[in-house]
Structure 1
């Protein structure tokens, strides 16, 4: 059976001149969720994305499927319950893509002792978290002694730490989750297309609106009864293109993460550490790497081209180094990512941590619905609410089916409680296809970089079966090695391009073009990290 995203040309041909019930503009996790929900209810659906799928916020998150424990501090119990409910849905429907993530909160000493009020408050909050729905994970929190805290993160300076608490959430690869939702939508009858930019929208008439889409130097038209604006931080841009006035207030919040070899931090779980400005940063284990973040700011920046700045590096390293035995140097950083979250602003606070993680669904004009805000964990509920609004507009009541709909790649034996084999937890039932590529071409069984565990075969699979349109797409969003070990990928781009290009049958000129595009993309993505690249042992060909 052909992979749902393997034939981009066929999906494009389905869209040209099509008339559909629902056109989704935006190919991140929110738009993907809307496409799946609508298609599964029997609506005809098309989705277009101006760049690559998940190339915006949906590949640049902290990669946590969490119930929002910290939202208890602000008294937002409703958001916590919603998040925990949706976490449970992913636990059931995407067990091949999510894994339990133990999370440790150290208790710091003051005057040589742990503040008893703080300890009781944290313990009480964790019990509240359990009762709000965290118990469905099959794990419960517990207190850790000094020795156990040190064992979970050997790089911590333990002189100021007395004990800690351990609780559990889920983790996922955000971009791969988005791809699985898109593939599931295609399986339900939707047509999806990346690098398809909406350039204009007609006025509404009795049959809906016509969207003008630029694809590969051509223009196609899609007629839709309802258009869903799921463009995230670009929501207002789309409304401007459509000529629709709106008073919505979005405050794009920039978040940056840095990646280092996990040997430097020594953590086998995720750890939350306080910063000097009364925020927290997380140190999250990811195979041979650990990623640290996030910054949170609403400083003006180009939302179209997020990049890692020197101030991002300084903030994160100063925040984590105050807790480590051996400080991390900028030269230790292997990669990272920066992105913007579409937070909803009430116009009062300048701190992004104070802005709402709730979502908003609104009918902007006849035949146009905008969904914004929210978070990775609650994408399905956002989609359900959006499609409920569509049902009202089209006077067609159909019950939601995604609450128990298994995502693409789900198979027997999948469990959120098991780490499983690395390929199984990224591809589910499709892991065998990666193994088959290696069997047919053993050199593709080598790792892309010396430190990473991503195989060259995974890059080939992304290009052949997952609608990656370029080498950069495959390394950044089908695999994630260009995030975690981006400096090594950039330093060895020519050989990576040569091996992968031969694996997919590119000509020498296309290999050279793809390699140059990869280098250009990575230089921008890495920002200041693209300077003084390491000397890398070439991957074997």
Structure 2
């Protein structure tokens, strides 16, 4: 695919520098990816520059859920509830392999609470119009314990259940970017914007190729700031421009407030939940446990964070808080010694004075000016496509009429629609290993056909790399050739989630995976060794912090 290999990446960067582009997007997370796809589908000449790997910030470190909007009823944001529900349905159409249904269970300690939860979900369903099989159910105490036998039964009156959807956030970002590239966008990772200046055509942007290709200048008629946690940093590069429409993106105060969410992973055999279960958090913050394959992860969100957004680390009090919430909800809950993986990330929210992080709206805000700039802050994973539509409408106001109409709500992402996937699956030969065959199609959608084909031509590439059943040599080669993997961290944290979900196993496989990457990318021994050492140091550090309770970041 154009632009999605190491060589294609450099070609895209040079092509972007040779042309006058309609729009340059700063940021390759889910927001920037959605904007790039939307703008490219509408026929604009699009460049996206990401300073690191795609989705290397917030967009690979979410709770990996496509929320339907139930939680936003508490904030009274009816419009956001409706939008989230609609957009979840869109995602199920355009990328069904990235929206896996899962039951969410909300335990209630009193019958009055059970009635209140049921009423809230009835209201949600009136607004969202879910399919019949996704509607909520009210369960009594016995039925609840049949589903989740380890729930503490002492104060349990019953529960309500409804359907949420689990995703791979980094793959959703990646497939959106691949779709943008397929529509003509130049999409470039490890390309850092260092300077923005006025130009007769609009803007000239200095971009540093962090893969050693030097500095280039890219000209565009409009720049979109979709930098997420780095929003204010990019906004600071706008300083030489005067004049704006509406609220200015060059105001001196910080627009974004960062909150940190941490995730603790244990083996499912140690925490055998079958549902996403909301935990009894002592202060009412959102906390829940999510089953995923052989793992379950415990989640908290919304603690204010000040520090480096690239690696926010763990806070000892947050780890303790999560484990205590699990112990308050379940018998024989896991302890710190049971943790096998972790990840943490920051969410960029619009700063609202006097409000706690959990009280701040998840709505996005689009800022205009100064000059030919459009900026977006806030928002949420579920509604990224609709956010992109609104941003590109603003871009159109800056650059003029769009070349063509498009409907991003119906165009499938790179992995194909359900019909596309069924056709590709039927046409492909089955692998001798049914479990591997099934996992590849569930992970990659229609792109699995390429990996399956390679395995059939070269059976040795089906062997697990470093003993990892979830990663084969054929997949690594596919990721290098079609997913722009440029580092060991790209591979093990974002194309595969093994470093997040099973850190010890990823550490053990790091050397084997790095040697496979070295063969594909032409690394010498020193580069290979540096990749392995850096990966092990960072990931082992995070896991050690979780297990020992030592803080790796500032606690609020």
Equivalent residue, structure 2, for 1:539: none
Of 128-137 and 85-94, deviating more is 128-137
Of 333-342 and 145-154, deviating more is 145-154
* 5+ residue gaps, structure 2: 241-249, 423-434, 550-556
Equivalent residue, structure 2, for 1:161: 156
**CA–CA distance in structure 1, aligned partners of residues 10 and 20 of structure 2:** 18
Number of aligned positions between the proteins: 521
| Normalised TM-score (structure 2) | 0.87
Deviation at 1:530, TM superposition (A): 8.0
Note closer, same or farther for the CA distance 1:202–1:72 as it changes in structure 2 (3 Å cut). Answer: same
Do residues 265 (structure 1) and 271 (structure 2) align?
Answer: yes
Whether the aligned pair in 1 keeps the contact of 2:62 and 2:169 (CA below 8 Å) is yes
Whether the aligned pair in 1 keeps the contact of 2:415 and 2:444 (CA below 8 Å) is yes
Deviation at 1:330, TM superposition (A): 1.3
Do residues 468 (structure 1) and 485 (structure 2) align?
Answer: yes
Of 321-330 and 251-260, deviating more is 321-330
Deviation at 1:68, TM superposition (A): 1.6
Equivalent residue, structure 2, for 1:5: 4
Of 65-74 and 36-45, deviating more is 65-74
Equivalent residue, structure 1, for 2:208: 214
Equivalent residue, structure 1, for 2:397: 392
Do residues 72 (structure 1) and 59 (structure 2) align?
Answer: no
Of 156-165 and 475-484, deviating more is 156-165
Whether the aligned pair in 1 keeps the contact of 2:195 and 2:207 (CA below 8 Å) is yes
Q: Secondary structure at the match of 2:192?
A: strand
Q: Secondary structure at the match of 2:374?
A: strand
Equivalent residue, structure 2, for 1:484: 501
Map Cα deviations across residues 389-447 of structure 1 (whole Å, 9 max, x no partner): 0111223155452121111111454799xx99332222100112233344455554345
Do residues 316 (structure 1) and 322 (structure 2) align?
Answer: yes
Of 321-330 and 117-126, deviating more is 321-330
* 5+ residue gaps, structure 1: 109-114, 533-541
Equivalent residue, structure 2, for 1:226: 222
Note closer, same or farther for the CA distance 1:380–1:152 as it changes in structure 2 (3 Å cut). Answer: same
Deviation at 1:19, TM superposition (A): 1.5
**CA–CA distance in structure 2, aligned partners of residues 24 and 3 of structure 1:** 18
Structure 1 residue ranges (4+ consecutive) displaced by more than 6 angstroms after TM superposition: 449-452
Equivalent residue, structure 1, for 2:232: 236
Within the candidate set 376, 379, 388, 1:383 is matched to 388
Alignment of 1:80-119 (within 5 A): 80-108=81-109, 115-119=110-114
Do residues 371 (structure 1) and 367 (structure 2) align?
Answer: no
**CA–CA distance in structure 2, aligned partners of residues 284 and 516 of structure 1:** 31
Whether the aligned pair in 2 keeps the contact of 1:284 and 1:290 (CA below 8 Å) is yes
Q: Secondary structure at the match of 1:474?
A: helix
Aligned-CA RMSD value: 2.6
Deviation at 1:95, TM superposition (A): 1.3
**CA–CA distance in structure 1, aligned partners of residues 261 and 58 of structure 2:** 10
Equivalent residue, structure 1, for 2:22: 21
Whether the aligned pair in 1 keeps the contact of 2:114 and 2:158 (CA below 8 Å) is no
Note closer, same or farther for the CA distance 1:490–1:308 as it changes in structure 2 (3 Å cut). Answer: farther
Deviation at 1:163, TM superposition (A): 1.6
**CA–CA distance in structure 2, aligned partners of residues 327 and 19 of structure 1:** 58
Deviation at 1:39, TM superposition (A): 0.7
Deviation at 1:510, TM superposition (A): 4.0
Equivalent residue, structure 2, for 1:127: 122
**CA–CA distance in structure 2, aligned partners of residues 214 and 4 of structure 1:** 17
**CA–CA distance in structure 1, aligned partners of residues 173 and 519 of structure 2:** 28
| Normalised TM-score (structure 1) | 0.90
Of 278-287 and 303-312, deviating more is 303-312
Map Cα deviations across residues 241-285 of structure 1 (whole Å, 9 max, x no partner): 232632452111111111110112211221111211222311111
